[in-house]
Amino acid sequence: MDEQIVTLDQAMQMAIDEAYKGAAQVSPNPKVGCVILNSKGQLISKGHHKKFGGPHAEIEALQNLKHEDLIEAHVIVTLEPCAHQGKTPSCAKKLASLPIKKVTYGLMDPNPLVAGQGHQILSDAGIEVEIYRGDLTEALENVCEEFLVNFREKRIFVAMKVAQSIDGQVALSNGVSQWITGPESRMHVQKIRSYYDAVLVGYETIIKDNPSLNIRLADINKENWAVILTNQKLSEDLKVFQVRPHEKVLTVSGDLKLVLQSLYDKGLRSILVEGGAFTFSEFLRQGLVDRMHVFTAPVIMGQGKSWSQSLSYPNLEIAPRAKKIDTQVFGPDIYTSFKLK
């Protein structure tokens, strides 16, 4: 594909970028990407896990390559190749049958029962195997963060999307919140929604704004769940019911931790909290948020409703510190993504 020599870090970054292409469709599997370099270190193939139940990233990357392409090749993959046969055959066994020289993988399989087994299969077959130890380790964790939380903590991954003014308000004091951010940001929100199994909003938001909460992108065909925090019966005339089967609209109430546990038990693996101010701040107050997606519009709203309205701290040391993961500009707005835990 290209004459240039690719370094390991470049190859791993490409594998990470590949992995994200599967973001909308792989849940509950992790996002995984794979890059193959030939014996000269030149890129010959890329692939990613596209869809739950479909071929893994390694198999996707291998599919157009011939036996001779793979002689002394180097396979770079974001997660340890799977050892066992699940919905698809074992990737480690497949790779072990090939004339490749080396496999570098990003993270060990988080399942302690099988961790290292993919590594062992490859090593037994005489292939050089190594776990990646470069600067992209954190990026490798981020790419499958939902999966890691699901697996390690047996709970649903919680993200939050805020559209705020420069001064941190999500609505005016009278509740007006449409539209703070511009069309470019709102388009990106659609993409962010596609990363998660469900969207959650509070009762006031659903009644006041009547949002669809679905994913409206030409190239992504995914039907997400809508979860509404209320103990009231909702009118089926609301838009959330129009765009998805009724059984994919859930009303939930009570203790938020129990609510999240019940969603996990139902099979949901990730959720995006989209408002309003009270809902946001309750999730934060209880320390339930893993990731924040913040869109900041260049408007000053003054004292309205804030997504941190029920939080208060006596000193800065105990105020929750986040970690900036990504900053982008969307039209007039600024988007920043933060990790909270």
The site for a copy of itself (CB under 8 A) is made up of: 164-169, 172-174, 176, 179-180, 284, 292, 294, 296, 298-304, 306-316, 319-324, 327, 329, 332-334, 336, 338
Handedness of CA 76, 82, 85, 87 (dihedral sign): negative
Which CB, 19 or 163, lies closer to a copy of itself?
Answer: 163
Shortest spacing between CB 239 and a copy of itself, in angstroms: 22
Which lies closer to a copy of itself via its Cβ, residue 5 or residue 176? 176
Selection from 22, 320, 299, 306 nearest residue 165 by Cα: 299
Q: Please choose, from the candidates 134, 144, 149, 191, the residue with its C-alpha nearest in 3D space to the C-alpha of residue 13.
A: 134
What is the smallest separation between the CB atom of 207 and a copy of itself, expressed in angstroms? Answer: 20
The residue length of the chain stands at 341
CB 91 within 8 A of CB 81: yes
Strand pairing category for 225-229 and 74-79: unpaired
In angstroms, give the least distance from the CB of 303 to a copy of itself.
5
Contact 43, 14 (CB under 8 A): yes
* Residue 262 or 310 having the CB closest to a copy of itself: 310
Whose CA is closest to 51, among 222, 214, 271, 188?
222
- Minimum CB separation from a copy of itself for residue 305, in Å? 11
Looking at 3, 18, 58, 141, which residue is catalytic? 58
Output 84 or 339, the one with its CB closest to a copy of itself.
Answer: 339
Identify the helix (H) or strand (E) that includes residue 20: helix 8-20
Give catalytic status of residue 58 as yes or no: yes
Comparing CB distances to a copy of itself, the nearer of 85 and 174 is 174
Smallest separation, CB 217 to a copy of itself (Å): 25
Q: How far apart are CA 264 and CA 40, in angstroms?
A: 46
User: What are the catalytic residues?
Assistant: 58
